[in-house]
Chains A and B, each alone.
Chain A
Amino acid sequence: MDIRQLNFAYVPKSGQLQLHEIDCRIPEGKITTIIGPNGCGKSTLLGVMSQNYKPTGGEVILDGKDIAKYKAKELAKKLAVVHQQNEAPPDMTVEQLVRLGRMAHKGLLSPQTDADEEAIEWAIASTNLLPKRSLPLEQLSGGEKQRAWIAMALAQRTPMLFLDEPTTFLDIYYQIEVLELVRELNASHGLTIVMVLHDMNQAIRYSDQLVVMKDGRICHQGTPRDIMTAELIQTVYGVKAIVREEENAGLNVVAIGI
């Protein structure tokens, strides 16, 4: 996916741009993570990349075609999105939810196919929800719920998966669980992943490429090792930090003051 000269404003013509001249390339088969301080536009960028917001300028090219030109169904076969906050009827079961992910692959009159069943089985199995598949969502824990939404996105069988702050409302155990799942999906199925994360260290640990944003612009992009410096953290977050490499913990950041 190529993002070219992208501008975006919530209120067009207001002159208040939320995204300025974004140029970015999402490498195939890699995990790309967008980070930055609150309000820097990272979720907005993901929203424009998944066509939930229409850009006011520039374009997002997917497989040689502007995503604005895709039909909803076509696009849903190329990329799936897990949103930060989700709503569903509380009595909907995991399997019913995952089944909704197959919408893009069939018309209203076409019957359930083997491909549908296979995709649903695979999605439920790879998110470790087999024992919970017929439980209603209201009976799941926060982490399980998040996995159920990931499973719905997986059932779309897309080469790309977007996740908007997938760990935000979860305990640390479930945060790691979700991130490990994402890494596993990337490693064993070659899924191209773009996610927005809050935690710098999680972003460093689980990403091949980082996109760092500030005030609606991309200020740095590259591998964590190449771009993560104390200087970057000072300018982007306004925080004094130490960036260090440790034998067990790998590259990590410790904030020490402001």
Chain B
Amino acid sequence: MKNKKGWSLWGVLALLAGVAIYSACTGSIKVSGLELLKGLIDGENKQVEVIRDLRFPRIIVSMLVGAALAVSGVLLQAVMRSSLADAGVIGISSGAGFVSILIVSLFPNWFFWMPLISCIGGGLACLLVFSFAWKSGLHPIRILLVGIAVNATFSGLGQSFNYRGSYAVTSINQAVTSIFTMKNWGDVRIMLIYGSIGLLLALLVSPWCNLLALQDKSAKNAGLHVHRARFIISGIAVLLAAVATAVGGLIVFVGLLVPHIARLLVGSDHRILIPFSALGGALLILTADTIGRTVLAPAEIPASIIMAVIGGPFLIFMLRRSDRIHGH
């Protein structure tokens, strides 16, 4: 068991490094790894300059967005005691997306605070899902159903901005469809600050997540303030999802896919599951984005579309599996 965990960890690290290097070297400008390294050190290669200004932020942002979404999925699943929870599927991302479009339209220069403001939208969506799905306990399928309704509402609200017909809209559009094209070091800074706060907090509460995997009464008798822990963990999940959405746009299924595979590889102990899912999420979105901008170059397929295509069938697969496990 120990070995499998170790290999999985090194494997995902190696893959992540490999894809990141490949991603940095390929695209509309192609350089070799050596040229890239040399250019970065002496700063004389014009192409490497462009890569540093445009492609590096894109790579870093997509990795951080992936990590944030995957960890947000793990946390939501711990809180809702269901492996079917994902910030994108149950409407937290679209809630955050909607609020961030709203704020961008009304107060365009609040750029830096956007992730925090979009938390309000994510938090609202999360609260709605909780309050409607709670019926003397949380039932996994009910969470999913309520989540779909909440998601549809907020997605609709968000998309309605596209049809106002004004010129300003096109620049906002990316918040709903997610393209990593125009990312700069400013985005990296935002994502790094909020993202790493969220990830650190997630690691910190991992013992709580482990206790919540037992029944509520067991967790309570072991000394956990169950409701408060749920509230705090949900808050962290919302923060991560909202930041990821504000910077990277709406991407669904990451929080579903990555934690599921991570559990198979490293088990359900959140102290390992959380960091491993962060790496897995980074790898997934970076890969999706790299594929998206290389296969049909110069055209691009947004990472969110690739994720939707992979994620949809995967959700069906997981629903069938959970049928077999819970037997209803």
Give the B-binding residues of A (Cβ under 8 A).
47, 50-52, 71-73, 75-77, 79-81, 83, 86-89, 91-92, 96, 100-101, 103-105, 108-109, 152-153, 156
Q: Which residues of B contact A88 (CB under 8 A)?
A: 213-214
In whole Å, how far is B264's beta carbon from the nearest beta carbon of chain A? 10
The number of chain B residues with a CB under 8 A from chain A is 21
Interface contact B221-A76, CB-CB below 8 Å: yes
Q: Is B222 located at the chain interface by the 8 A CB criterion?
A: yes
Docked Cα-Cα span, A156 to B221, in Å, equals 10
Interface contact A50-B223, CB-CB below 8 Å: no
Docked Cα-Cα span, A87 to B207, in Å, equals 16
Residue A100 contacts which of B204, B214, B220, B225 (CB distance < 8 angstroms)? B214
Q: Which residues of B contact A47 (CB under 8 A)?
A: 217
Docked Cα-Cα span, A72 to B220, in Å, equals 7
Q: Which residues of B contact A87 (CB under 8 A)?
A: 213-215, 218
Docked Cα-Cα span, A83 to B220, in Å, equals 12
Residue A80 contacts which of B221, B224, B267 (CB distance < 8 angstroms)? B221
Interface contact B213-A92, CB-CB below 8 Å: yes
Give the A-B contact count at a CB cut-off of 8 A: 71
Docked Cα-Cα span, A50 to B204, in Å, equals 28
Q: Contacts A89-B213, A103-B207 hold; do A75 and B268 have CB atoms under 8 A apart?
A: no
Q: Contacts A83-B217, A83-B218, A103-B207 hold; do A92 and B269 have CB atoms under 8 A apart?
A: yes
Q: Please, what's the 1-or-0 string for B213-254, where 1 marks a CB less than 8 Å from any CB in chain A?
A: 111011011111110000000000000000000000000000
Q: Is B278 located at the chain interface by the 8 A CB criterion?
A: no
Residue B222 contacts which of A51, A92, A96, A100 (CB distance < 8 angstroms)? A100
Q: Which residues of B contact A71 (CB under 8 A)?
A: 225
Q: Which residues of A contact B210 (CB under 8 A)?
A: 96, 100
In whole Å, how far is B6's beta carbon from the nearest beta carbon of chain A? 16
Q: Is B211 located at the chain interface by the 8 A CB criterion?
A: yes
Q: Is B205 located at the chain interface by the 8 A CB criterion?
A: yes
Interface contact A101-B222, CB-CB below 8 Å: yes
Interface contact A92-B221, CB-CB below 8 Å: no
Q: Which residues of B contact A100 (CB under 8 A)?
A: 207, 210-211, 214, 222
Docked Cα-Cα span, A75 to B224, in Å, equals 10
Interface contact A76-B207, CB-CB below 8 Å: no
Docked Cα-Cα span, A77 to B213, in Å, equals 21
Interface contact A72-B225, CB-CB below 8 Å: yes
Given contacts A72-B226, A76-B221, A87-B218, 16 further A-B contacts (CB under 8 A): A50-B221, A52-B217, A80-B222, A81-B221, A83-B218, A91-B268, A92-B268, A100-B207, A100-B210, A100-B211, A100-B214, A108-B205, A108-B207, A108-B208, A152-B222, A156-B223
Residue A104 contacts which of B208, B213, B222 (CB distance < 8 angstroms)? B222
Interface contact B215-A83, CB-CB below 8 Å: yes
Give the A-binding residues of B (Cβ under 8 A).
204-205, 207-208, 210-211, 213-215, 217-218, 220-226, 267-269
Interface contact A104-B223, CB-CB below 8 Å: yes
Q: Which residues of B contact A89 (CB under 8 A)?
A: 213, 267-268
Minimum CB distance partner of B81 in chain A:
A87
Interface contact B269-A103, CB-CB below 8 Å: no
Q: Which residues of A contact B217 (CB under 8 A)?
A: 47, 52, 81, 83
Q: Which residues of A contact B225 (CB under 8 A)?
A: 71-73
Docked Cα-Cα span, A144 to B204, in Å, equals 31
Interface contact B207-A86, CB-CB below 8 Å: no
Interface contact B268-A86, CB-CB below 8 Å: no
In whole Å, how far is A107's beta carbon from the nearest beta carbon of chain B? 10
In whole Å, how far is B233's beta carbon from the nearest beta carbon of chain A? 12
Minimum CB distance partner of B264 in chain A:
A91
Q: Which residues of B contact A108 (CB under 8 A)?
A: 204-205, 207-208
In whole Å, how far is A119's beta carbon from the nearest beta carbon of chain B? 13
Q: Which residues of A contact B221 (CB under 8 A)?
A: 50, 52, 76, 79-81, 83, 153
Q: Which residues of A contact B268 (CB under 8 A)?
A: 89, 91-92
6 shortest A-B CB distances, which residue pairs?
A: A104-B223, A76-B223, A89-B268, A81-B221, A73-B223, A72-B225
Interface contact B215-A103, CB-CB below 8 Å: no
In whole Å, how far is A67's beta carbon from the nearest beta carbon of chain B? 12
Q: Which residues of B contact A96 (CB under 8 A)?
A: 210, 269
Docked Cα-Cα span, A245 to B66, in Å, equals 71
In whole Å, how far is A61's beta carbon from the nearest beta carbon of chain B? 18
Q: Which residues of A contact B214 (CB under 8 A)?
A: 86-88, 100
Minimum CB distance partner of A162 in chain B:
B221
Interface contact B222-A156, CB-CB below 8 Å: yes
Minimum CB distance partner of B203 in chain A:
A108
Most chain A CB inside 10 Å of its own CB: which residue of B210, B222, B224 = B222
Residue B223 contacts which of A77, A91, A92 (CB distance < 8 angstroms)? A77
Q: What are 5 of the A-B contact pairs (CB < 8 Å)?
A: A71-B225, A76-B223, A83-B215, A89-B213, A108-B207
